Amino acid sequence: MCGIIGYIGHRQAREVILNGLKRLEYRGYDSAGIAVIQDGLGLYKKRGKVHDLELLIQDLELNATSGIGHTRWATHGVPSDVNAHPHTDSQSSFALIHNGIIENYDVLREDLEKKGHTFHSETDTEVLAHLIEEIQKMGSLGFYEAVQQALLQVDGTYGIAVVHEEYPDQIIVARMGSPLLIGIGEDEFFVASDASPIVGYTQKVVYLEDEEIAVITRDGYEVSTLKNVPHTKEVHELALSLEQIEKGGFPHFMLKEIFEQGDTISDCMRGRVILNENRIQLGGLDGYVDKLLKARRIIIAACGTSWHAGLVGEYLFEYLAHIPVEVEYASEFRYREQLIDENDVMIVISQSGETADTLAALREAKKRGALVIGICNVVGSTIARETHAGVYTHAGPEIGVASTKAFTAQVTVLAMMALLLGKENRTLSEESMKELLSELDSIPEKVNEILKDTSEIERIASLFTYAPNFLYLGRSYNFPVALEGALKLKEISYIHAEGYPAAEMKHGPIALIDEHMPVVVIAATDHTNEKIVSNIEEVNARKGRVISITSNGQSSVNRLAEFSVTIPETHDCLTPLLTSIPLQLLSYYIAVNRKCDVDQPRNLAKSVTVE
Ligand code: M6R
């Protein structure tokens, strides 16, 4: 989604902002823009990549030391130069960038048009700029007060940054539902929608909360509520390094992140899987385990890949801890009849910790008295801060839009939680706990074994690069992996793909099978193996092209499938941590063969901060 970077200090603002915009590219965008204050307001914006904006301004003599920049992901109005941010007032005396959606923009726009304002773009953001102008004009207010008043009149979500030519030494920022942080350097300050554009300049940040507004000058920053109550903010230290957000020799972030998974799963388990004491230690859940055990049910709410991880979690919690679980799309949960109360526990899963629908589900559950636990990757994100308790996945920054290492880290956290609860609930014997902990501990090594030789997956990818459709089948723990495999392929290669529980194939999808249909069958769990073998026979009988993902021992599957990718054996309930890896690679190589933009697929955003 849209990204924000702002700078005020002693450096050339153009460099800091362009650099920041490049680091924000991973969020997904369609246009970019920059505004600097140098003998008045300089405003440059362009549809396309940040590189196109860079070309637009490369020959200009810009000497400004403050300014703002934005990457736009279209919601209101097509991607175009004119709809790109920043937007200005009628006189072009100030420029504003905005993440989020002004929901009452149409009513405001109509009113402002009646008052003589002319709009150039189709965006909701331009309405906010004109509203500020109008309020300032009518109320003889200072600029800061006018911004404050305007924000009190808008419904919806925003993270904004504003610069004004008459106040070259300040940036005004405010937040409601859309993340924003202030970076604190030596005699310089930054504002950003996430930490990635400011890493390398400073590690010190303050996170703005909803309804907070701040004025940043060259000497410092002041934060207050929209109603003028001053707030003292805690300064946090970022745990993010420059290295982590660079490609490290890989052609794409996605491939780097796939190959990191041996390490990220290890990092996720570090200090948590205590083998010699036969237990799991999750500090973030201290004081909440009892509530989880006594829960009438656990509701897992998430979106996209995180929802798929939640589905694996459902199998794990039910099998290992005998706790009933429901998995909900966060976007659906919030509009259902709310039957959740203090007897339930909600677990929200989110890589970014900023997904608008997941955040809304969390707030709804909290309002109704449920305990809410978060599984997030981004430290300090809104979801991580708003949940009662939680477990970080510690997978490091995930830049590729297609989620890979975050998924396996989420499943690892869910497995650890289920084991912890299973032990406490006595649904797991000491013996089974020991066996499962040692299996979990060996997963990173097995992931690395899969990654050691990717040649068979590359070969299969080259044979099916131009297939128009794919079917993914899996049972039990690997049904969610089938969904995830299909999502990965759709996202980055734009091939239509569907995931199904294998037995459901007979209830409809089998009609699609002919000699042109690749069917990826995930056949790695022993207890469903026989059934999966029958499913493969059914596909073969209709001349479908079976690509199986099996563990070493499953010779009957390997014999029947036209193509087989073998993975090391593990306990059934941990197989998703291994079976998901070849599927990530398959989609990656197909997308590369099709010359798709792997890290920034069309229309997609890394973190979906609008509803
Ligand atoms: O940051 P979140 O985990 O909350 O994001 C949820 C989805 O938007 C995300 O998983 C999306 O489906 C990914 N692009 C999948 O690769």
What DSSP assignment string belongs to 350-372? ESSS--HHHHHHHHHHHHTT-EE
How high is the pLDDT of residue 553? Answer: 67
Please choose from 608, 610, 611 the residue to mutate so as to test ligand 1's pocket, defined by most ligand atoms within 8 A of CB.
Answer: 608
How high is the pLDDT of residue 511? Answer: 87
Q: Which residues pair with 182 in a beta bridge?
A: 191, 206
Pair 299, 344: CB distance under 8 Å: yes
Ligand 1 in contact with 609 (CB < 6 A)? no
Measure 405 CA to ligand 1 centroid, in angstroms: 12
How far, in Å, CA of 9 to CA of 13, rounded?
8
Percent of the chain with pLDDT over 70: 99
Query: What is the three-state SS of 381-411?
Result: CHHHHHCCEEEECCCCCCCCCCCCHHHHHHH
Ligand 1 in contact with 351 (CB < 6 A)? yes
Sorted by sequence, the CB contacts under 8 Å of residue 257 that are 6+ apart come out as 398, 399, 400, 404, 405
For residue 334, name the pLDDT band (cuts at 50, 70, 90).
Answer: confident
Does the pLDDT at position 26 exceed 90?
no
Sorted by sequence, the CB contacts under 8 Å of residue 253 that are 6+ apart come out as 26, 247, 399, 400, 599
Residue 123 has what DSSP assignment?
-
How high is the pLDDT of residue 505? Answer: 85
How high is the pLDDT of residue 452? Answer: 96
Residue 156 has what DSSP assignment?
B
Q: 524 or 266, which is more confident? A: 266
Do the domains at 247-452 and 453-600 have one common CATH topology? yes
Task: Look up tokens 């829960």; give the residue.
Answer: 295
Quickly list DSSP for 555-594. HHHHHH-SEEEEE----GGGTHHHHHHHHHHHHHHHHHHT
Tokens of 13: 């603002």
* Closest approach atom of ligand 1 to CA 488: 16
Measure 310 CA to ligand 1 centroid, in angstroms: 12
Does the pLDDT at position 380 exceed 90?
no
Ligand 1 in contact with 303 (CB < 6 A)? yes
Measure 305 CA to ligand 1 centroid, in angstroms: 5
How high is the pLDDT of residue 559? Answer: 84
For residue 246, name the pLDDT band (cuts at 50, 70, 90).
Answer: confident
Q: 396 or 463, which is more confident? A: 463
How high is the pLDDT of residue 524? Answer: 81
Does the pLDDT at position 82 exceed 90?
yes
Sorted by sequence, the CB contacts under 8 Å of residue 302 that are 6+ apart come out as 309, 310, 327, 329, 330, 348, 349, 350, 355, 358
Task: Look up tokens 């991880």; give the residue.
Answer: 309
Helix (H) or strand (E) holding 308: helix 304-316
Average pLDDT over residues 233-249: 83
How far, in Å, CA of 343 to CA of 611, rounded?
28
Average pLDDT over residues 341-360: 95
Percent of the chain with pLDDT over 90: 82
Please choose from 1, 26, 300, 305 the residue to mutate so as to test ligand 1's pocket, defined by most ligand atoms within 8 A of CB.
Answer: 305
Tokens of 564: 């087989």
The CATH number fitting domain 453-600, selected from 3.40.640.10, 3.30.450.20, 3.40.50.10490, 3.50.50.60: 3.40.50.10490
Please choose from 306, 358, 386 the residue to mutate so as to test ligand 1's pocket, defined by most ligand atoms within 8 A of CB.
Answer: 306
Sorted by sequence, the CB contacts under 8 Å of residue 296 that are 6+ apart come out as 324, 343, 344
Ligand 1 in contact with 485 (CB < 6 A)? no
Model pTM above 0.85:
no
Ligand 1 in contact with 600 (CB < 6 A)? no
List, for residues 181-198, the tens digit of each pLDDT value. Answer: 999 999 999 999 999 899
How far, in Å, CA of 348 to CA of 370, rounded?
12
Does the pLDDT at position 240 exceed 80?
no
Extents of the domains making up the chain: 3-244, 247-452, 453-600
Measure 307 CA to ligand 1 centroid, in angstroms: 8
Q: 537 or 188, which is more confident? A: 188
How high is the pLDDT of residue 532? Answer: 83
How high is the pLDDT of residue 14? Answer: 96
Does the pLDDT at position 12 exceed 90?
yes
Average pLDDT over residues 342-369: 95
Pair 72, 2: CB distance under 8 Å: yes
The CATH number fitting domain 247-452, selected from 3.40.50.300, 3.30.70.330, 3.40.50.10490, 3.20.20.70: 3.40.50.10490
List, for residues 414-424, the tens digit of each pLDDT value. Answer: 999 999 999 99
Helix, strand and coil percent figures for the chain, each rounded to 5: 40, 25, 35
Report, at the CATH architecture level, how domain 3-244 is classified: 4-Layer Sandwich (3.60)
Ligand 1 in contact with 31 (CB < 6 A)? no
How high is the pLDDT of residue 534? Answer: 86
Q: Going along 166-309, which residue ranges are E strands?
A: 167-176, 181-184, 189-192, 204-207, 212-217, 221-225, 230-231, 236-237, 273-274, 279-280, 298-302
Q: 337 or 474, which is more confident? A: 474
Average pLDDT over residues 523-548: 85
Ligand 1 in contact with 491 (CB < 6 A)? yes
For atom 8 of ligand 1, the residue with the nearest CA is: 304
Please choose from 303, 312, 599, 600 the residue to mutate so as to test ligand 1's pocket, defined by most ligand atoms within 8 A of CB.
Answer: 303
Nearest 5°: the CA angle 424, 425, 426 is 90
Length of the chain: 611
Measure 355 CA to ligand 1 centroid, in angstroms: 8
For residue 339, name the pLDDT band (cuts at 50, 70, 90).
Answer: confident
Measure 14 CA to ligand 1 centroid, in angstroms: 31
Tokens of 37: 């204050």
List, for residues 277-287, the tens digit of each pLDDT value. Answer: 999 999 999 99
For atom 14 of ligand 1, the residue with the nearest CA is: 402
b/e map 451-464, b = 16+ CB within 10 Å: beebeebbebbeeb
Give the distance from CA 125 to its chain's centroid.
23
Average pLDDT over residues 463-482: 96
How high is the pLDDT of residue 73? Answer: 86
List, for residues 514-529, the tens digit of each pLDDT value. Answer: 999 999 999 987 676 7
Q: Going along 434-484, which residue ranges are E strands?
A: 469-474
Catalytic residues: 2, 606
Tokens of 558: 């390997």
Does the pLDDT at position 546 exceed 70?
yes
Ligand 1 in contact with 403 (CB < 6 A)? yes
CA distances from 211 to 127, 340, 453, 518 (A): 19, 27, 51, 51
Measure 606 CA to ligand 1 centroid, in angstroms: 7
How far, in Å, CA of 454 to CA of 458, rounded?
6
Does the pLDDT at position 201 exceed 70?
yes
Tokens of 488: 């990965």
